[in-house]
Amino acid sequence: MGIMEKMRLDGKKIFVTGGARGIGKSIAYAVAEAGADVAIVDIDIEEAKKTAQRIAEDTGRRTIAVKADVTNPQEVDEMIETILEQFDRIDAAFCNAGICINAPAEEMTFEQWKKVIDINLTGVFLTAQAAGKVMIRQGGGSIINTASMSAHIVNVPQPQCAYNASKAGVIQLTKSLAVEWAMKGVRVNCISPGYIGTDLIMNSPSLKPLIEKWEEMSPLHRLGKPEELQAIAVYLAGDASQFTTGSDFVIDGAFTCI
What confidence score (pLDDT) does residue 5 get?
85
Q: Flag whether pLDDT at 17 surpasses 90.
A: yes
For the chain, domains (ranges, CATH) are 3-196+229-251 (3.40.50.720)
Q: Flag whether pLDDT at 1 surpasses 80.
A: no
Q: Flag whether pLDDT at 172 surpasses 80.
A: yes
* Pick from 157, 81, 173: nearest CA to 122: 173
Task: Say what percent of the chain tops pLDDT 90.
Answer: 93
What confidence score (pLDDT) does residue 2 get?
83
The question of whether 167 is a catalytic residue gets the answer yes
pTM for the whole thing?
0.96
- Give me the DSSP letters along 109-171: -HHHHHHHHIIIIIHHHHHHHHHHHHHHHHT-EEEEEE--GGGTS--SSS--HHHHHHHHHHH
Q: Flag whether pLDDT at 244 surpasses 90.
A: yes
Identified catalytic residue from 26, 142, 148, 241:
148
Convert the pLDDT of each residue in 191-240 to its tens digit.
999 999 998 888 888 888 999 999 999 999 999 999 999 999 999 999 99
Identified catalytic residue from 163, 195, 218, 241:
163
What confidence score (pLDDT) does residue 203 get?
86
Q: How many CA atoms lie within 13 A of 137 on its CB side?
A: 10
Provide Rg for the chain, Cα atoms.
17
Tell me what the mean pLDDT of segment 59-79 comes to: 98
Quick check: 143 and 187 in contact, CB under 8 A? yes
Cα–Cα dist 114/112, whole Å: 6
User: In the chain, which ranges are E strands?
Assistant: 13-17, 37-42, 63-67, 92-95, 141-146, 186-193, 248-251
The question of whether 163 is a catalytic residue gets the answer yes
Residue 80 burial by CB count (10 A; 0-12/13-18/19+): exposed, middle or buried? Answer: buried
Identified catalytic residue from 13, 25, 167, 241:
167
Convert the pLDDT of each residue in 28-53 to its tens digit.
999 999 999 999 999 999 999 999 99
CA distances from 132 to 15, 27, 64, 142, 144 (A): 13, 20, 21, 9, 11
What confidence score (pLDDT) does residue 246 get?
98
Average pLDDT, the chain: 97
What confidence score (pLDDT) does residue 206 get?
84
The question of whether 133 is a catalytic residue gets the answer no
